[in-house]
Structure 1
Amino acid sequence: MTSPRLRIAVQSKGRLAEGGMDLLKRCGLRFAYGRDKLHQRAENMPVDLMLVRDDDIPNFVASGACDYGIVGENVLREEQAAGGRARELDVALRLGFAGCTLKLAAAQGGDIRSSADLAGKAVATSYPALTAQYLRERGIEAEIVEMRGSVEVAPRLRIADAICDLVSSGATLQANGLAAFETVLESEAVLIRRSTGRDPRTDAVANVLMRRAEGVIASSQTKYIMLNAPKDRLEAIRNLLPGADAPTIARVAGRDDVVAMHAVCRERVFWETLEALEAEGARAILVLPIEKMLA
């Protein structure tokens, strides 16, 4: 009897679609591209993709139409706050891309500076259930005005006193004379699944993919640093390497006062890091990306 294929719901277009497809390809999946815009079939693993709208993904997974889904955590938490099937879902893996923040914001220099100031006020948002839940948990009664787009114009048009909206750089808020004052949710892309009732055969395939995905995510946030270091400055230079385990030390041909140091850095490496290493005497500093990594 043929084993079932793992079905994964992925956003059909947008940032989550690009990030999700890139992650799956870096996990080794090869897809056969056909004329069907809603379905893609992996050639080298028993995996099928369903390409759908992002806000439909929680229902696809909760209903069993798909086994797993890649979705923004903001979408998942909104569906869960609204009740229904989405409450049966859990996060199998945080994917480390498509980060954004759901924030409360109001007019710059105005009287609303915290959620406590929203009592008796109106809040415009595309996330009515999540916003209402956040305020209710803090004992705040406010009117929720649901909007599907251009939420940031609501205070200026006197539709609402404040907003709850996704923020990345904050430039849109600033352009509309708004300032964020409280964070409702820190969001990123997540892999979701039903908490119960899963098929162990498709779960086994999913576990292989998640193991690979963990390696891809770790490698994307990790750099390999190579440098030459004076022997008398080894400890100082080692302490400057961000998130590094014990580095590898090797001889440099023709030099007794200098060694080669190689290290895997699990935190971001900034220009300031390189300049600090150079100030301690490090030379020939190379920072290299890591394509794949299994801990």
Structure 2
Amino acid sequence: MRRLKVAIQKSGRLSEESFQLLKECGIRFESSSNSLIVPSRNFPLDVLYLRNSDIPQYLEDGVADVAIIGENTLVEAGRSIKNELQLGFSKCRVSIAIPKGESYSGIGDLNGKKLATSYPNTVNAFLLKSGIKAEIHQISGSVEIAPSLGLADAICDIVSSGSTLFTNGLKEVEVLFSSEACLASSPAIDQEAKAILNKLLFRVKSVMEARNKKYVLLNAPNEKIEQITSILPGMKSPSIIPLAQSGWSSLHSVIDESQFWEIIDQLKEAGAQGILIVPIEKMIL
């Protein structure tokens, strides 16, 4: 029986969240202690633990059918790999940074400078597009210390909170692009694997949709239902259930996490009582 081979980072910032996402999709695994291949016991899927830099090649060669990988790694690899779905975690920026004490008036300041980076292809493409000529020094890891050691005038690296730059006396001056984890597929994926991938994508989308939503239950006097319904459109319209107490109803709906507090305030002002907020584990649209 065909099994979907999913590559994830062996260790690092993506590994734990990738495995957790698969578990939230209801996929159960055997013990993963010191294993490089971890089979699922209830879904036709095997996880391959690989070095992050090796994953694009494994995808292109068809050794892995799909992978959970950072978009920044895909851009750097520059291969014919399809980004199936952005996953919303491990968000970062690929940015250029310079020492704090130096002035910066624009991209032209990088002309003739030395840039240290682990992303030479990405930086080359950016400089070429910007019409900038600079010397690139490829470094694997600890890029932030290059300016203090005199190896470079600036760096290009991934930035999340910016604390690492601050600690090393650097400031962010150019953002090349924003990145997050994505589910990417091999150009060599066959139809059997594609069918399994579609089932996986369905589960992942359901989990992701639920993360951004809250289930709301509230009680309201019947004369306020129309006003409250305008606040709570829900997926189609709120569910309205008469209560035992005459003249009152219970309304059930779903709201976006981003609008949560604004909507709660509006509900209270409209006369809603007994508001109950429930997390959603999965959401099937």
Query: TM-score under structure 1 normalisation?
Result: 0.85
Cα offset for 1:259? Answer: 4.2
CA contact (8 A) 1:10 1:52 kept: yes
Q: What residue number does 2:219 align with?
A: 228
Of 50, 60, 85, 1:93 maps to 85
From the superposition, tell whether residues 260 and 69 of structure 1 become closer, same or farther in structure 2 (CA, over 3 Å): same
From the superposition, tell whether residues 234 and 162 of structure 1 become closer, same or farther in structure 2 (CA, over 3 Å): farther
Cα offset for 1:249? Answer: 3.2
Task: Give the secondary-structure state (helix, strand or coil) at the position aligned to 1:191.
Answer: strand
Paired letter, 1:62: E
Is 1:291–2:276 an aligned residue pair? no
Paired letter, 1:28: G
Paired letter, 2:29: F
From the superposition, tell whether residues 89 and 129 of structure 1 become closer, same or farther in structure 2 (CA, over 3 Å): same
Q: What residue number does 2:5 align with?
A: 7
CA RMSD of aligned residues (A): 2.6
Q: What residue number does 2:62 align with?
A: 64
Any gaps of 5 or more consecutive residues in structure 2? Answer: none
Query: TM-score under structure 2 normalisation?
Result: 0.88
CA contact (8 A) 2:233 2:253 kept: no
* Number of positions where the alignment pairs a residue of Structure 1 with one of Structure 2: 285
Paired letter, 2:5: R
Q: Which moved more, 1:150-159 or 1:204-213?
A: 150-159
1:89-143 deviations in Å (ceiling 9; x for gaps): 1112222211111112223363224323212212222212111111211111111
Q: Which moved more, 1:259-268 or 1:58-67?
A: 259-268
Q: What residue number does 1:84 align with?
A: none
Partners of 2:232 and 2:11 in 1: CA distance = 39
* 1:151-166 equivalence runs, <5 A: 151-166=143-158
* 1:37-52 equivalence runs, <5 A: 37-52=35-50
Partners of 1:127 and 1:148 in 2: CA distance = 9
* 1:127-142 equivalence runs, <5 A: 127-142=119-134
Is 1:205–2:196 an aligned residue pair? yes
Partners of 2:267 and 2:105 in 1: CA distance = 42
CA contact (8 A) 2:3 2:46 kept: yes
Q: What residue number does 1:79 align with?
A: 77
Any gaps of 5 or more consecutive residues in structure 1? Answer: 81-86
CA contact (8 A) 1:11 1:51 kept: yes
From the superposition, tell whether residues 286 and 181 of structure 1 become closer, same or farther in structure 2 (CA, over 3 Å): farther
CA contact (8 A) 1:112 1:118 kept: no
Partners of 1:79 and 1:209 in 2: CA distance = 25
From the superposition, tell whether residues 285 and 35 of structure 1 become closer, same or farther in structure 2 (CA, over 3 Å): closer
From the superposition, tell whether residues 114 and 228 of structure 1 become closer, same or farther in structure 2 (CA, over 3 Å): farther
Q: What residue number does 1:23 align with?
A: 21
From the superposition, tell whether residues 151 and 26 of structure 1 become closer, same or farther in structure 2 (CA, over 3 Å): same
From the superposition, tell whether residues 179 and 62 of structure 1 become closer, same or farther in structure 2 (CA, over 3 Å): same
